[in-house]
Amino acid sequence: MTSPSIALTPARRPSSIRRWLVAAAPYILLAPGLLWLFYFFIWPAVQMFLMSISTGNLDDGFRVTGTTKAYEAALTKFGPQWLNSLVYAGLATLFDLAIGFPVAYAIAFRGGRYKNLLLFLVIAPFFTSFLIRTISWQILLGDEGPVLGFLKHTVPVLSSDTSVLYSPIAVVAGLTYNFLPFMILPLYVALERIDGRLIEAAHDLYASSWAAFRRVTFPLALPGVFAGTILTFIPAMGDYVNAELLGSPKTRMIGNVIQGRFLQLNDYPTASALSFVLMAAILLAVLVYARALGTEDLTG
């Protein structure tokens, strides 16, 4: 008795729908993020630009007229606030780099089994509200606080009238403290990726510790320096909480002007124009900074 013949069918080719799904998979995965970006950034930015070239008031409504008066006011009326923002954000970024680099270096190369604990301590302030952390500096920098009060009783040069709160020093100190983790974390990631054998090779070639750091460690850490300074400078430039709580009217930053124009004076066109000028200035600064450091090395 002969066995029934078995027909061998060739393997099925992927259907056109399956091929389309495979080709479209990256775009499908990107769609939620792109929609989020469009709805919560691009569309509001367009509306803000239209508001910046509008005239009117909150009671009668605003109408797009194409006027540039808001931009003229943004560029000519708030010179001290622009200067304060640039100086305070720049100083805070430099101080964060000076403080953050040794901390990140110690965690990356000397942390050992305590790395995770040290990194947790770096981000621990984020578990507290930004506002609460800033208010706490009012206590620290108060005339009779734990810092200045102690110094007044131990340093004869300081008089009882010496005050730090509501000064540029207090504003820069608050900015430096609040944005320090944004500097430490990118620096740590960059330093952690450095192959220790490169530093050993530098020592084998009779390089001193300083020469090895200057020629090997720091150049390889430049991507972290770039990311850390950008992540610190950009939010510090637009910040208004530290200047509001730790400063005085003379230390107001451009963020305070924008906040006041939006929420107090209801001057939406000028506030929108200030926001756009701030974004353009930051973007230009980032491009210049990236070119100065060398974008080829940073993205490699």
Q: Note whether residue 18 is domain-resident.
A: yes
Give residue-wise pLDDT tens across range 153-181.
787 777 777 788 899 999 999 999 999 99
pLDDT band at 86 (very low <50, low <70, confident <90, very high): very high
Pairing of strands 61-64, 54-57: antiparallel
Q: Give one DSSP letter per residue of 142-187, joined into a string.
A: STTSTTHHHHHHH-TTS-TT---TTSHHHHHHHHHHHHHHHHHHHH
Is 176:89 a contact under the CB 8 Å cutoff?
no
Q: Note whether residue 61 is domain-resident.
A: no
| Residue 77 confidence (pLDDT) | 92
Q: Which domain holds residue 43?
A: 4-52
243 in the same domain as 187: yes
- The sign of the dihedral angle between the CA atoms of 228, 230, 232, 233 is positive
| Residue 122 confidence (pLDDT) | 93
199 in the same domain as 133: yes
For the segment 257-261, the average pLDDT, to the nearest whole number, is: 93
Helices (H), the chain: 16-37, 43-52, 69-76, 79-110, 115-123, 130-140, 148-154, 168-192, 196-204, 209-212, 218-220, 222-238, 241-246, 254-263, 268-293, 295-298
138 in the same domain as 8: no
CB burial string 176-203: b at 16+ within 10 A, e below: bbbbbbbbbbbbbbbbeebeeeebeebe
Q: Note whether residue 63 is domain-resident.
A: no
Supply 53's token pair.
């070239």
194 in the same domain as 136: yes
Q: Classify 63 as helix, strand or coil.
A: strand
Q: Classify 130 as helix, strand or coil.
A: helix
C-alpha–C-alpha distance, residues 80 and 250, integer Å: 8
Tally of domains in the chain: 2
128 in the same domain as 219: yes
pLDDT band at 225 (very low <50, low <70, confident <90, very high): very high
Provide φ and ψ at 7, rounded to 5°.
-85, 120
- Run of H or E residues at 57: strand 54-57
pLDDT band at 93 (very low <50, low <70, confident <90, very high): very high
85 in the same domain as 33: no
Residue 274 has pLDDT above 80, yes or no: yes
Supply 246's token pair.
């730790």
CATH number, position 163: 1.10.3720.10
Q: Note whether residue 112 is domain-resident.
A: yes
Q: Note whether residue 259 is domain-resident.
A: yes
Is 235:93 a contact under the CB 8 Å cutoff?
no
> Please, is 247 exposed, middle or buried when counting C-beta atoms within 10 Å of its C-beta (0-12, 13-18, 19+)?
buried
Supply 200's token pair.
């050993």
| DSSP character at residue 42 | I
